[in-house]
Amino acid sequence: MLRLSREKALAVAGKGDLVLGADTTVVIDSAHGGEIAGKPVDEQDARRMLKLLSGRRHEVLTGVSLVLDDRIISEVEVTQVEFAPHDRYRNRLVHLDGRTDG
């Protein structure tokens, strides 16, 4: 994610431009080795991922890069996040086509 934050900033930076790039990765159940959560490929995969996150603490890692000409400053921020149990938000799930459950 740190590499991607740099690449994103560099992709749009012009001479004299101050550009901030960022990228985020979620590590599910990081206390037990963790699984990196990618972007869901479809609605079924999104539901699977929400169930994995449900009622668990996980880490959100955000890479941030600040670019000005040939200077780059990059850092990673780690945030601990705890999801509510699945049944507390399941009825509010918004489908990819705009429909909502409930």
- What does the DSSP 8-state code read for residue 90? G
Active site residue 23: yes
Strands 71-82, 57-68: pairing is antiparallel
| 55, 85 Cβ separation under 8 angstroms | yes
The single residue of 23, 29, 87, 101 carrying the catalytic annotation is 23
Positions marked catalytic: 23
